[in-house]
Amino acid sequence: MSAESVVDLSGIVQKFGRVTALDGVALTVRKQTIHALVGENGAGKTTLMKVLYGALKPTEGKVIVEGQERHFTKPQDALAAGIGMVSQHYSIIGELTCLENLMLGAEPGWTIPFANARTKATELATQMGFSFDWDALAEGIGPAQAQKLEILKLLWRGARIMILDEPTAMLSPTDADLLFAKLHELADSGTTIIVVTHRLPEVMDHCDDVTVLRGGKLIASKPVSETNPEELTEMIVGHSVDIPAPTPATPGAVILGVSGLTVKGERGDDAVKNVSFELRGGELTGLAGVDGNGQRELFQAILGLLPFSGSVALDGVDLTKKSTKDRLVAGIRLIAEDRHHEAVIEDWSIELNGVLGLHHTEPIRRGMLVSANARKEIGEAVTNRFPTKFDRVGQRFGDLSGGNQQKVVTARAFQQNPRLILAFQPTRGIDIHVSALVFQALKEQARAGSAVLLVSFDIDEILEHCDRVLVINHGEINEPPEHLRGDRQAIGRLMVGAE
Amino acid sequence: MIDPLVILFGLASIQGLTLLTSALTLSSPLILAALGGLCSERSGVVNIGLEGKMLGAACAAGIVGQLSGNPVLAVLAGIGVGTALSLLHALLTQTFRMDHIISGMGINALAVGGTSLIAKTLSNQLSGRMASFPIFIYWVAAWTAVVGIWWYLKSTRGGLRLNAVGNDPDKARQMGVNPVHVRLFALLWTGIFCGLGGTLIVTNAGSFSDEMTAGRGYIALAALILGGWRPIPTLLACLAFGFFEAINLQMQGQSFFGQTIPREFWQSLPYLVTLVALAGFLGKNKPPSGLGRP
Amino acid sequence: MNWRFALLALGGFAVVYFALVVCGVVPLESLAKMIQSAVGSPAGWRNTLRQATPLLILGAAVFVALRAGLFNIGADGQFVMGAMSGTAVALANPGPVGMVLGMVSGALVGALWALPAGWIKAYRGGHEVITTIMLNNIARVLSLWMVTGIMKDPDEQAATTKYLPTETLLPLIYREKALQINLALLLGIAAVIGLWFYLKKTVSGYELEATGGNPTAARFAGIAVKQVTLKAMCLSGALAGFAGALQVLAYEERFYGGFSGGVGFDALGVALLAAGSPIALLPSALLFGIIAQGTTALSLDGVPKGMSGILLGVLIIVFAAYRYRKEAARD
């Protein structure tokens, strides 16, 4: 193993408006190593990598690659210098064949000698121990194959430094181990690999060096052999803050009853697998899990937006066959994940958005009409609930800042006597102070008799605010045993299916 | 659907050969326009402005053909105007990010108005048949172009990138392919093909008249959809539509087995078939996924 | 507002200017004359309002579809079918009964003619622009066939039906010298106000606009997006068919081949210019009425009818560049 460094980032500062995402971060990666970059969501890992592969121009700082200072303005520049990145969201076009995806943007010539290219592609794949049906459309391949194809795409382009963002997030444990075995081979044959991850076992078992970021700052960078999981955890999380013991909840009657719920995901596999649980009034329940483990599908099925098998009941009334409209009227509220697409109409006023989804509930609906008075009241209620910066309720919603939009969307879920609030990261983009208010409000709503289910990718958030914890992993929901309820590590292990 | 046998018998009973040549003649402008549409839509740009581009080209080719007496200039004028209108569509949809359909409608309106105005203004200087190449050349051009595009899509870098951009412009951009460049190039060809198509229409007629494309741009679009945005099936759809039109022209009031089929039936057949196809009853043809995306 | 848009607007104006120069008239003078002839005299107003009536209702038709996220290019065909059926019904029932039934049947047939497009869009995923263009063509062929066949007035050479008796026609509501206003205009205005009420006050209208604004968010809000799509298309067709029947009952007094003259396409411009507000259909339709009337007047100076197409195209393009841009993809 050589000590020669191939990547040298120093003093990297990245500002987005007033927010400082990276604050003087440095990163040194040695040649032919697997370097882990760890940190919690929002620690700045992805931002730092975007700087390295040219998707972001840093506000300040130096990028030195293989001894040369670089000023990348686009990913293609970085690629030309031998740096490539596989992002979490693959850039594979389903309508093209695997071979076409492999070559796109780096075709061998004006005309494409397909037979020749296929041979070369097969050679490349065989070297890595992969196998592909090159002429099959890429839409049919699973996440593991897609990951491999992305890696081959980088190799095809001659990348010598490879960045993988959460490469195992979508992979089964077996596939993940296989992937790392291949990464080792790659490193041995001359490639340098940076893995962005938050899974510590991967770091300990497979990586040579590790760099920890927290809150946009560099915390530590050292060989894996000189550290241990406990130390890493502490560096990632920071010195454990005293989490106030949650005020004891007094669980009331069962509000939501889910039994045997199975939901098909986008890829046709089961995203939620035969899940059964109950939510009681009075309790704020947290659903911990890594992004993409079925949270989305679970919520959409409960709201009747996705077909499912099994049953869903609210307040003892079976809703399985009911429409989304009926479920909303019955009192289910969703704080949707994707605000732009799922929650609001940006061209509309705040007031019009305020009743979206509530427009069949009395007294907003009066016979065939939408009551102007009720609409106005709701418009004021959704802007007053949390401190929201806006001019007037008739203002175009899309002109609000992201945080203020989220406040309105969150506030809307509290209107018209909700029985069940499904909150998908309700505080995204909201500053800490208001976030606390949101959690407070969710808890109060629960204490007032509603059931609240909170999806968060942040364990601490859940530990801090929730009365009860459920963990979702690969579409299966588990509840940690009584004595481990407050145990961060135990919940973390459940989240990644290590237990 | 019509039993193919009926058509065959019909063929035998009337002047079959004339019908066939007539069908070929009538389908050629459709083929050219449909190929123009194919270039555009495979790159993700919706193009309901085929009609306007052809009309503009027909007008330019007709007038230049009459004034100059030079067939080369006539064709160049047709291609020039077709291309100019197509690049206007590119400008509006790519630079101004205008809705593709509105842009197409606007260009159609401009073309209908503009050609009518120019033709009227120049009407006393125009006389006789325009100078033109024999129709045969356009047939060859159309058929060659089908094969050419088929090959281009299948085996070139440009074809691959066209496909990528048409299906997912954002991911294509991530892979270093500039969607705007690809679409500009595609729309350039749309202009050329529509230009040839319009020139052919005016060549058939001898001189320009208002709205002489008579909705062929829309029929071409229908053929493109029926053909599932693929060159060869699109060609077949165009041939079928040309055939319907030929039957319509030749069989006025002729009867099959004592049954009179009104010519209006043949006239609306392409539209009906397209409707049925869009309802998904003739197999699902998936449009390019990136169609209409900025 | 940026320099690119300013450049486009300037380019649009240059096209119109140049077109007028080509026609051998002084551009600014003739633009002034256009306006003068359309709104400068009672007779001008009469013609302008007559032109504006179908544009207003058809504009409303296209508008309501647009609010639901649909391009109803088929307003033209629905207009023709509405006019044809309205004529047939009114001819069969002379008198006020025929007048009312004619309007009703026009709206019904218009809705029916839009139905396939709405259904294919909502449940089969076929794009409404193509289906409505096809339906326009079928309407054209079908109406020609009818009007040269069973509906033809045997005493006439041309492809036309009999004239409606006077008692079946819509009455004038105002008549002073050359200025005449037909009840149809009032009905049109009523339709637009009704549309405003529907969209802005009713639950159904709220859901329609939500569907057009963001279909995914609408679905998340419990709105049955497919049904709304179908409903919007049929409502649009009903308005267009109603406009067709009115055109016969108020102005044309009969149905004939080539009835629409492309007015359904002008209506797209009317609806686009109205942007988000139904009430804005009134000035928008008036503007297009002025253009239609003005270019007719200019044709006396030798400016061909094509001028109106150029004005329409430029207006649509420039306005749409300003108002109907697509958002860039979000990362």
Contact criterion met (CB < 8 Å) for A369 and C214: no
DSSP B23-37: HHHHHHHHHHHHHHH
Contact criterion met (CB < 8 Å) for A107 and B176: no
The number of CA neighbours under 13 Å toward the Cβ of B52 is 27
From the CB of residue C180, how many other CB atoms can be counted at a distance below 10 Å?
Answer: 17
Mean pLDDT of C156-176: 90
What contacts B265, CB < 8 A, 6 or more positions away?
none
Against chain B, the chains showing at least 3 CB pairs within 8 Å are A, C
Residue C24 lies in a domain: no
Contact criterion met (CB < 8 Å) for B174 and A111: no
Confidence of residue A1 (pLDDT cuts 50, 70, 90): very low
Partner residue facing A93 (CB), from B155, B158, B164: B164
Contact criterion met (CB < 8 Å) for C224 and A325: yes
CB B53 within 8 A of CB B191: yes
- The torsion of the CA quartet C119, C121, C127, C132, rounded to 10 degrees, works out to 30
Contact criterion met (CB < 8 Å) for A345 and C210: yes
- Interface membership of A398 toward B (CB under 8 Å): no
Mean pLDDT of B162-173: 92
Against chain C, the chains showing at least 3 CB pairs within 8 Å are A, B
Contact criterion met (CB < 8 Å) for B110 and C314: yes
- Interface membership of A121 toward B (CB under 8 Å): no
CA distance B159 to B151: 9
Contacts of A104 in chain B (CB under 8 A): 160-161, 164, 172, 175, 177
DSSP-derived 3-state class of residue C329: coil
Q: Between residues 167 and 186 of chain B, which touch chain C (CB distance below 8 Å)?
A: 169-170
Residue C50 lies in a domain: no
Examine the pLDDT at A388 and tell me if it is beyond 90.
no
Contacts of C216 in chain A (CB under 8 A): 341-342
A-B C-beta contacts closer than 8 Å: 54
Partner residue facing C222 (CB), from A342, A346, A357: A357
Q: Between residues 85 and 114 of chain A, which touch chain B (CB distance below 8 Å)?
A: 91-96, 100, 103-107, 109-112, 114
Tell me the shortest Cα–Cα distance from A247 to chain C, in angstroms.
34
Q: Between residues 124 and 183 of chain C, which touch chain B (CB distance below 8 Å)?
A: 124-127, 129-131, 133-135, 137-138, 141-142, 144-145
What pairs with residue A335 in β-bridges? A423
Examine the pLDDT at B256 and tell me if it is beyond 70.
no
CA distance A176 to A36: 15
DSSP state of C181: E
* Residue A32, both tokens: 């032919």
Which one-letter amino acid corresponds to residue C75?
A: A
DSSP C239-294: HHHHHHHHIIIIII-S-BTT-STTHHHHHHHHHHHTTT-GGGHHHHHHHHHHHHHH
Residue C204 lies in a domain: yes
What is the residue range of C239's domain? 56-264
Mean pLDDT of B106-131: 89
Q: Give the model confidence (pLDDT) of A174-200 as tens digits.
A: 777 888 988 998 899 889 999 998 778
CA distance A184 to A188: 6
CA distance C8 to B290: 26
Contact criterion met (CB < 8 Å) for C23 and B117: yes
DSSP state of C140: H
Examine the pLDDT at C189 and tell me if it is beyond 90.
yes
Contacts of A53 in chain B (CB under 8 A): none
DSSP-derived 3-state class of residue C69: coil
Residue C68 lies in a domain: yes
DSSP C207-238: HHHHHHH-HHHHHHTT--HHHHHHHHHHHHHH
Partner residue facing A93 (CB), from B156, B157, B171: B171
Examine the pLDDT at A160 and tell me if it is beyond 80.
yes
The per-residue pLDDT of chain A, averaged, comes to: 87
pLDDT of residue C329: 37
Contacts of B177 in chain A (CB under 8 A): 104-105
Confidence of residue A410 (pLDDT cuts 50, 70, 90): very high
Q: Where is C160: in which H helix or E strand?
A: none
* Residue A188, both tokens: 């041995």
ipTM of the complex: 0.87
Residue C208 lies in a domain: yes
Q: Give the model confidence (pLDDT) of A247-302 as tens digits.
A: 677 888 999 999 999 998 876 778 899 999 999 999 999 999 877 788 999 999 99
Tell me the shortest Cα–Cα distance from A345 to chain C, in angstroms.
6
Residue C287 lies in a domain: no
Examine the pLDDT at A169 and tell me if it is beyond 80.
no
DSSP-derived 3-state class of residue B260: strand
- Interface membership of B125 toward C (CB under 8 Å): no
Question: Considering only CB atoms, which residues of chain C are within 8 Å of chain A?
Answer: 201-204, 206-207, 209-210, 213-214, 216-224, 276, 330
Examine the pLDDT at B224 and tell me if it is beyond 80.
yes
Which residue spans within C130-178 are E strands per DSSP?
172-176
- Interface membership of B285 toward C (CB under 8 Å): no
Q: Give the model confidence (pLDDT) of B73-97 as tens digits.
A: 999 999 999 999 999 999 999 988 8
Name the H helices within C23-74: 27-39, 42-67
- Interface membership of A80 toward C (CB under 8 Å): no
Contact criterion met (CB < 8 Å) for C24 and B109: no
Confidence of residue A173 (pLDDT cuts 50, 70, 90): low
Against chain A, the chains showing at least 3 CB pairs within 8 Å are B, C
In percent, the amount of chain A with pLDDT more than 90 equals 43
pLDDT of residue C174: 87
Contact criterion met (CB < 8 Å) for C325 and B98: yes
Residue B145, exposed/middle/buried by CB under 10 A (0-12, 13-18, 19+)? Answer: buried
Partner residue facing A105 (CB), from B155, B176, B288: B176
Q: What is the 3-state secondary structure (H, E, C) of chain A?
A: CCCCEEEEEEEEEEEECCEEEEEEEEEEEECCCEEEEECCCCCCHHHHHHHHCCCCCCCEEEEEECCEECCCCCHHHHHHCCEEEECCCCCCCCCCEHHHHHHCCCCCCCECCHHHHHHHHHHHHHHHCCCCCCCCEHHHCCHHHHHHHHHHHHHHCCCCEEEEECCCCCCCHHHHHHHHHHHHHHHHCCCEEEEEECCHHHHHHHCCEEEEEECCEEEEEEEHHHCCHHHHHHHHHCCCCCCCCCCCCCCCCEEEEEEEEEEECCCCCEEEEEEEEEEECCCEEEEECCCCCCHHHHHHHHCCCCCEEEEEEECCEECCCCCHHHHHHHCEEEECCCHHHHHCCCCCEHHHHHCCCCCCCCCCEECCEECHHHHHHHHHHHHHCCCCCCCCCCCEHHHCCHHHHHHHHHHHCCCCCCCEEEEECCCCCCCHHHHHHHHHHHHHHHHCCCEEEEEECCHHHHHHHCCEEEEEECCEEECCCHHHCCCHHHHHHHHCCCC
pTM of the predicted model as reported, rounded to 2 decimal places: 0.86
CA distance A160 to A98: 22
Query: What's the residue count for chain B?
Result: 294
Partner residue facing A112 (CB), from B155, B172, B289: B155
- Pick the closest to residue B113 from A405, A191, C231, C15 (CA basis): C15
CB A350 within 8 A of CB A383: yes
Sign, CA torsion A48/A51/A55/A60: positive
- Pick the closest to residue A68 from A59, A77, A60, A76 (CA basis): A77
CA distance A170 to A154: 19
Tell me the shortest Cα–Cα distance from A156 to chain B, in angstroms.
12
Q: Give the model confidence (pLDDT) of A37-75 as tens digits.
A: 988 767 888 889 989 988 888 999 999 998 889 888 888
CB B282 within 8 A of CB B236: no
CA distance A313 to A304: 12
For chain C, how many structural domains are there in total? 1
Lowest-confidence pick of B280-289, C16-25, C70-79, C192-201: B280-289
- The label of the residue with tokens 């989304």 reads A324
Contact criterion met (CB < 8 Å) for B164 and A104: yes
Examine the pLDDT at A241 and tell me if it is beyond 50.
no
Q: Between residues 234 and 273 of chain B, which touch chain C (CB distance below 8 Å)?
A: 262, 264, 267-268, 271-272
- Interface membership of B98 toward C (CB under 8 Å): yes
Residue C199 lies in a domain: yes
Lowest-confidence pick of A14-18, A40-44, A438-442, B62-66: A40-44
